[in-house]
Amino acid sequence: MKRIVALLVLVLVFVAALALGSQNGQLVQFNYLVAQGEFSLAALLGLFFAVGFVVGWAVFALLLLRLKLQNRALNRSVRRQSRELDTLRSGTSGE
């Protein structure tokens, strides 16, 4: 349910940005590393919004992957220690 609400909010923000951007046809000069160009302000804002969204998801995915790998390693360690503990318990209870 939280995902649906979050997705709905994201879509609403995107639609509002498109609506406001379509009303703004102003051209702006954009200087980047090797050249410069004249772009529509709405297109430039949309581009930076999309790039920021993709970069944010990429960072999130990398952090999530790192946590999942760490979780897997810790679960392996817990299973190994549980087996050792069971072995020690069964060895001492038989005496």
Report the C-alpha gap between 58 and 64 in whole angstroms.
10
Kindly give the confidence (pLDDT) of every residue in the chain, 95 residues in length, as a single tens digit, with 9 standing for 90 and above: 888 998 898 888 878 877 877 777 789 898 988 889 998 888 888 788 889 989 999 999 999 999 999 999 999 999 999 999 999 999 875 55
pTM for the full predicted model: 0.63
Report the C-alpha gap between 90 and 95 in whole angstroms.
9
